[in-house]
């Protein structure tokens, strides 16, 4: 009798477990379906942008020029190459890379929306079941992927210098922090470039505007903070508004949550601004 009751309890427990497992699987399936509905159109826009970028030599030339300029400045040209310093460091690369990205990224993003406006394909894009936010996010992710593809080969610099360093080695923590800072900086530049491209149907104008605003937000606040009349305390807060301040913080190898929030806030601001601008068209 006791054995029969125990068996019934066991069966009831197993049924409850299977019931809750089924409900959990149903909820997960619904969530995955909802995520697919949101991200599938975004990914379609992203693939279209990547296909368009790499369908011509322009994309490949931009990446090759970026790598060539970094390689020449880091290993060949006097005054900037690492051999003049006599110790293993990638500090020169991380100081020069933002200035090269300041020109590379506007070249990547300048046609994002301006080309759509010029050819009239943006009106066709509006007829698709896509929200403005999905279009903006898809184009942003595509441009960011291109920048990441351009940055990935530079990891060779790290391993090359590590081999040349001998026993002393290279500060891996600082190098990884600098790469993370460079990725955040590039993400901000891409957001600025996408935003500038949404205001004009001229790709050249979009390039110039993006390069200008990238320069201002990267170095402009730092230059303003160096004015003598602001040296009484305001200089520090003005400098904090620029990317360079937070980029240097992350490059030390210590990731502060305030720096991460700053980068994410700037990215979000420009993407929202782009979305609002497209909503007016």
269 burial type by CB count under 10 A (0-12 exposed, 13-18 middle, 19+ buried): middle
Total domains, the chain: 1
Q: Which residue range forms the structural domain that includes residue 236?
A: 2-279
Calculate the alpha carbon distances from 5 to 1, 2, 18, 157 in Å: 6, 5, 20, 71
The whole-model pTM stands at: 0.82
Q: How far apart are CA 182 and CA 158, in angstroms?
A: 14
Q: Are 260 and 122 in contact (CB under 8 A)?
A: no
Q: What is the mean pLDDT of residues 200-228?
A: 86
Q: Is the pLDDT of residue 153 over 80?
A: yes
**What is the model's pLDDT at position 94?**
85
Confidence band, pLDDT 50/70/90 cuts, at residue 166: low
- pLDDT confidence of 247, banded at 50, 70, 90? confident
Contacts made by residues 237-245, CB under 8 angstroms, sequence distance 24+: 242/217, 242/218, 243/185, 243/188, 243/217, 243/218, 244/98, 244/218, 244/219, 245/221
Q: What is the pLDDT of residue 35?
A: 40
pLDDT digits (tens, 9 = 90+) for 103-119: 889 988 888 888 888 88
User: What totals of helices (H) and strands (E) does the chain contain, helices first?
Assistant: 13, 0
What 8-state DSSP symbol labels residue 249? H
Residue 91 and residue 157: Cα distance in Å, rounded?
Answer: 11
Express each pLDDT in 260-271 by its tens digit: 899 999 999 999
Q: Which of 186, 212, 188 is nearest to 199 (CA)?
A: 212
Provide the percentage of residues in the chain whose pLDDT is more than 90: 15
């Amino acid at each position: 009798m006791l054995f029969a009751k125990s068996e019934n309890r066991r069966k009831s427990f197993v049924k409850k477990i299977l019931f809750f497992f089924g409900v959990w699987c149903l909820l997960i399936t619904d969530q995955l379906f909802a995520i697919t509905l949101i991200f599938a159109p975004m990914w379609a826009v992203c693939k279209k942008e990547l296909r368009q970028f790499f369908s011509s030599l322009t994309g490949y030339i931009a990446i090759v020029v970026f790598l060539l300029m970094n390689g020449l400045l880091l290993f060949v040209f006097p005054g900037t190459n690492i051999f003049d310093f006599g110790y293993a460091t990638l500090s020169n690369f991380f100081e020069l890379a933002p200035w090269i990205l300041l020109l590379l990224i506007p070249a990547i993003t300048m046609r994002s929306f301006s080309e759509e406006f010029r050819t009239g394909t943006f009106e066709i894009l509006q007829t698709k079941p896509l929200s403005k936010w999905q279009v903006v996010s898809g184009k942003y992710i595509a441009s960011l992927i291109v920048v990441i593809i351009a940055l990935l080969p530079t990891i060779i610099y790290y391993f090359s210098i590590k081999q040349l360093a001998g026993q002393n080695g290279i500060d891996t923590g600082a190098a990884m922090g600098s790469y993370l800072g460079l990725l955040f900086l590039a993400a901000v530049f891409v957001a600025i470039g996408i935003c500038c491209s949404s205001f004009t149907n001229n790709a050249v104008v979009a390039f110039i505007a993006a390069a200008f605003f990238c320069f201002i937000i990267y170095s402009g606040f730092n230059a303003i903070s160096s004015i003598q009349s602001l040296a009484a305390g305001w200089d520090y807060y003005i400098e904090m508004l620029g990317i360079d301040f937070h980029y240097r913080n992350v490059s030390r190898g210590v990731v502060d949550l305030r720096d991460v929030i700053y980068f994410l806030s700037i990215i979000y601001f420009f993407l929202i601004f782009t979305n609002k601008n497209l909503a007016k068209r």
